[in-house]
Amino acid sequence: MRVGVIDYGVGNLGSVMRALEELRVAPVLIKNIKEMESCNRLILPGVGNFGTCSALLQRGGWVQALRDDVVGNQKPLLGICLGMQLLATTSSESDENESSESEFGLNLIPGRVESLEKIGCNLRVPHVGWNAINCLPVGREIFEKIPNGTDFYFVHSYAFIPENYEHVLATTDYGVQVTAAVRSGNVWGVQFHPEKSAAAGLQLYKNFVHWNP
């Protein structure tokens, strides 16, 4: 099993790679779109500003390549933290130095990304630390052997709001219900950091790696 971790210029790649190595899989750091062909699974990390990351994906040719591989070839993809938000259609978080195109995501799971304050959060932002997830009763493969109410580690100021609530796998309560995990077919996303979430995070990676379409 070769799991490709996409290196488009941002992301906590080292800790993701080490977590995958603990599962005895072969993580591959993908630095260009051609290297995706040799991988069975893809992971899209992300940290920082949506607009900056979106622009980097576009400049590197990743947007169309990911759509071709994930939609056309049905290759499983997992977005992590901002990587999950990049699965959306649009975001209100853009870089003022980038073009308006940086407001657009991969549109693999239709929806928008909004600030926590805008959706009603009255707690301190960013949301940093451990928080329990509430798993919905559908599409739980990625949470297999992970009890409902398990704590995961979050770091974010924006939240993903899918157009179709059926794409929501789990939520977390941070002064308002926040999407914690999403899925559409072979595309998955988690708002938290599995690689920083101890045994539960490793189990989630294991579930993704061994998921059989």
Whole-number average pLDDT of the chain: 93
Alpha carbon of residue 195 to chain centroid: 12
**pLDDT exceeds 90 at position 112:** yes
Structure tokens at 131: 């928080």
Catalytic residue, from 39, 81, 121, 135: name it.
81
Q: Please say if 193 is a catalytic residue.
A: yes
Active site residue 121: no
Is residue 195 part of the annotated active site? The answer reads: yes
Grade residue 187 by pLDDT with cuts at 50, 70 and 90: very high
Tell me what pLDDT residue 100 has.
57
Q: Please count the CA atoms within 13 angstroms of the CA of 128 that sit on its side-chain side.
A: 3
Q: Which residue has the tokens 């657009």?
A: 104
Average pLDDT over residues 82-88: 97
Residue type, 45: P
Q: What is the pTM of this model?
A: 0.95
